[in-house]
């Protein structure tokens, strides 16, 4: 690795491809880049500059390496992450991903009051304003170039940079009913399901947790994830079943009971539909 490489050069090297769009550069002290369509797990070396990452589209299940395993929390479209400089990170991407990164030169942080916010990782927090500014920047960059558009883009990027330097507000302080705040609440529900897939998770209880009616919750949830709440819970249970089959010696009956299935036969049917094989055959294939 070349010591003088920029954030963007390091990311390109890890992904094996360049950014779709790049704006700014070393002389400006910041760079905005869009990255799309990469799948798998990645080890990102320490970056020389702090990076603000906005998750704008793609699969709603992106994890980061947390001490000795993948994080329980996941990032979804509508979330943001701050990666501090000098810290290697690991990433697990379950499908396509579409993110925008904004890196800021270290020397620009010396006058920032909240400098310590860039000294630690902040993963997958709700940031409606950051996401809205980022999406507007992208919309303008794909529009025909005019002098007026260039001034507008420059102003938007300055606003996004100022927003990053100020630091994201506490999510609990932004309790107003915007679509991005709805994304934050859906994100909260998704992580609750992924953390404890064995619980009942009825539509009524999930809707009550985020303060929506069941019918409105179902519409918002499916728009955010592509799945109904029931389908998402079932997917989370079956993915956890795969983990248990490959990493424990529990019997199929024990796993079925632990994950809240009404019967082993129900579990077996659901698993076969999900994985293409019954649990026992899937386990044997994975262990040999």
Q: In whole angstroms, give the CA distance from residue 7 to residue 99.
A: 14
Residues 11 and 150 occupy one common structural domain = yes
Are 234 and 143 found together in one domain?
no
> Do residues 24 and 165 share a domain?
yes
Q: Are residues 209 and 157 in the same domain?
A: no
Considering the domain boundaries, does residue 189 fall inside one?
no
Total count of domains within the chain = 2
With cut-offs at 50, 70 and 90, classify the pLDDT of residue 99: very high
In terms of domains, do 260 and 147 share one?
no
The tokens describing 70, both together, are 């993948």
Mean pLDDT of the chain: 83
Q: Is the pLDDT of residue 156 over 50?
A: yes
Region of residue 37 (left: phi > 0; alpha: psi -120 to 50; beta: else): left
Q: What gap in Å lies between CA 123 and CA 274, rounded to an integer?
A: 30
Q: What is the pLDDT of residue 2?
A: 53
Q: Are residues 139 and 231 in the same domain?
A: no
Is residue 186 included in any domain, yes or no? Answer: no
Q: Is the pLDDT of residue 172 over 90?
A: no
Per-residue confidence band for 288, with pLDDT thresholds at 50, 70 and 90: low
Say yes or no: 158 and 227 in one domain. no
What tens digit of pLDDT does each residue of 49-94 get?
999 999 888 776 789 998 888 998 888 888 889 999 989 999 998 8
User: What is the pLDDT averaged over residues 42-52?
Assistant: 92
Whole-angstrom CA distances from 16 to 9, 31, 35, 72, 86 are 10, 19, 11, 28, 21
The answer on 201 and 161 residing in a single domain is: no
pLDDT of residue 195: 84
Whether the predicted pLDDT of 170 surpasses 60: no
Give a yes or no: residue 95 inside a domain: yes
Task: Give residue 29's pLDDT.
Answer: 81
Residues 75 and 145 in one domain: yes
Task: Say if residue 133 is in the same domain as residue 208.
Answer: no
Q: Is residue 218 part of a domain?
A: yes
How distant, in Å, are the alpha carbons of 28, 150, 194, 201 from that of 142? 22, 12, 36, 41
Whole-angstrom Cα distance, residue 210 to residue 186? Answer: 8
Q: What CATH number should be reported for the domain holding residue 45?
A: 2.60.120.10
Q: Are residues 167 and 200 in the same domain?
A: no
Q: Within a domain: residue 183?
A: no
pLDDT of 77: 81
- Measured CA angle at 90 (ends 21, 74), to 5 deg: 85
| Cα distance between residue 115 and residue 132, in whole Å | 24
- Give the Cα separation of 5 and 46 in Å (integer): 11
pLDDT at 30: 87
At residue 37, φ and ψ (nearest 5 deg) are 60, 55
Domain that holds residue 236: 196-288
């Amino acid at each position: 690795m070349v010591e003088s490489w920029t954030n963007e050069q390091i990311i390109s090297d890890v992904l094996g491809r360049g950014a779709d769009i790049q704006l700014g550069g070393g002389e400006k002290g910041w760079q905005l880049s869009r990255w799309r369509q990469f799948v798998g797990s990645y080890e990102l070396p320490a970056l020389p500059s702090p990076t603000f990452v906005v998750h704008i589209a793609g699969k709603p299940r992106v994890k980061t390496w947390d001490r000795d395993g993948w994080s329980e929390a996941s990032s979804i479209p509508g979330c943001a992450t701050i990666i501090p400089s000098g810290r290697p990170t690991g990433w697990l991407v379950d499908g396509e991903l579409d993110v925008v990164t904004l890196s800021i030169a270290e020397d620009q942080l010396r006058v920032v009051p909240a400098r310590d916010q860039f000294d630690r990782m902040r993963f997958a927090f709700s940031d409606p304003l950051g996401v809205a500014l980022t999406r507007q920047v992208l919309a303008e960059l794909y529009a025909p170039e005019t002098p007026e558009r260039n001034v507008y883009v420059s102003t938007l990027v300055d606003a996004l940079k100022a927003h990053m330097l100020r630091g994201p507000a506490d999510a609990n302080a932004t309790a107003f009913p915007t679509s991005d705040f709805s994304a934050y609440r859906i994100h909260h529900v998704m992580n609750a399901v992924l953390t404890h897939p064995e619980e009942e998770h009825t539509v009524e209880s999930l809707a009550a947790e985020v303060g929506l009616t069941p019918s409105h919750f179902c519409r918002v949830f499916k728009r955010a994830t592509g799945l109904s709440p029931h389908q998402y819970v079932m997917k989370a249970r079956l993915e956890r079943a795969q983990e248990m089959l490959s990493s424990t010696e529990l019997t199929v009956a024990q796993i079925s009971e632990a994950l809240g299935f009404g019967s082993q036969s129900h579990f077996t049917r659901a698993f076969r539909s999900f994985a293409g094989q019954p649990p026992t055959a899937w386990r044997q294939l994975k262990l040999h």
